[in-house]
Structure 1
Amino acid sequence: MSIDKELREELRQVADSMHCPPDLHGRVSQSHQHYVNKKRGRSPMKKRVIAGIIAAVILIPSAVFASSYLADAIFGSVKTIEQHGGSQEDYNEMEEMIQAAKSKLTEEEFEEFMDLFKQMVQLKLKMTDEKGIKHMDKLTKEEQQHFEQLLPMLAPFFEKINGTAKP
């Protein structure tokens, strides 16, 4: 047997032969119970509240920055508009206009607006070069006709968005 096991066995035998008074056993038990109740009652609630506040402080701003842009549904990304002579400011203006449309149009109107607007933007991107100059001749005859049909279809939506619609 190793020395650790021998020592442990010897200490166990000595502890078994000792008798503690019932008074001492009661006081130790009461002190332990008081310690457990005191520890259980105060800390976890404070820790949870503090953790909740910290999580809110971190998550709310990151959620705002991580939210997707509605303009991404049309362009795909800022790089697409930059390849056609646009800038980050142009992209942000487009996003603001789409956000205004979402707030001012009904859900059905907004879906129809986004579909028509996406078609128009795709045609504009197709006819615009990297310097931002529009060349109508890059479109086929059918695409040119479709582009000209889209403008009057989108006009009522733009009037509502800009607040110039007649009641």
Structure 2
Amino acid sequence: MSIDQELREELRQVADSMHCPPDLYGRVKQSYQHYLNEKRGRSPMKKRLLAGIAAVAILIPSAVFASSYLVDDLFGSVENIEKIGGTQEDYQEIERFLQTAKGKLTEAEFKEYMELTKQLMQLKLKMTDKNGVRHEEKLTKEEQQQWSQLSSKLAPFFEKINGNAKP
């Protein structure tokens, strides 16, 4: 036998021959119960905190993606833009521009801007072919006048959004 095994066997025999007083068992049991109660009290709080952090980490990004795009108010969806020759990048670029406009314009101005832009986009969709080329001759005389009126009404908004507005 190796020295380790002999020592282990000797310690086991001595431990078996020892007798503990009965009150020692009670104190050990009481100490262990106290430890378990303390551990139970702390653990749920940590679990709740971790669950809360995980929920926030999941919900915030999903809320951002679930929110509607401003450009959907104009075109309906990315598929509609792709039908007229646009791309996903064009869609994202228009969305960024509209978000900038929303940040720089007052709520009333932005509402008016979106209404005028919707009308302008309807005319633009009418005169744009599948390759994204504009054909102004597709519009009637009234629609062409409406196009120029809408463009002139939108010009001050574009100046304000782009930062070219005069105080």
2:158 maps to a residue whose letter is: F
Corresponding letter in the other structure for 1:77: S
**Deviation of residue 57 (structure 1)?**
1.7
Name the residue aligned to 2:70. 70
Say yes or no: does 1:110 pair with 2:110.
Answer: yes
1:1-167 equivalence runs, <5 A: 34=34, 37-38=37-38, 40-167=40-167
Equivalence for 2:4: none
Cα deviation, residue 80, structure 1: 0.7
Per the TM alignment, residue 148 of structure 1 is displaced from its structure 2 partner at its CA by 1.2
- Secondary structure of the 2:119 match is helix
Secondary structure class of the residue paired with 2:144? helix
Letter in 2 for 1:118: K
Amino acid at match of 2:80: T
How high is the TM-score relative to the length of structure 1?
0.75
Equivalenced residues, count: 142
1:56 CA displacement = 1.6
1:84 CA drift (Å):
0.6
Determine the C-alpha separation between the residues in 2 that align with 1:123 and 1:134.
Answer: 10
- Looking at structure 2, the residues matched to 79 and 141 of structure 1 have their Cα atoms a distance apart, in angstroms, of 29
* Secondary structure, aligned partner of 1:44: helix
CA separation in 2, counterparts of 1:97 and 1:47? 42
CA deviations over 1:60-102 (Å, ceiling 9, x no partner)? 2222222221101101111111111111121111111111110
Instruction: Note the C-alpha offset of 1:37.
Output: 4.1
| Cα distance, 1:40 vs structure 2 | 4.5
Q: How far apart, in 2, do the equivalents of 1:65 and 1:111 lie?
A: 23
Paired AA for residue 132 in structure 1: G
TM-score in terms of structure 2 length: 0.75
Task: Return 5+ residue gaps in structure 1 as ranges.
Answer: 1-26
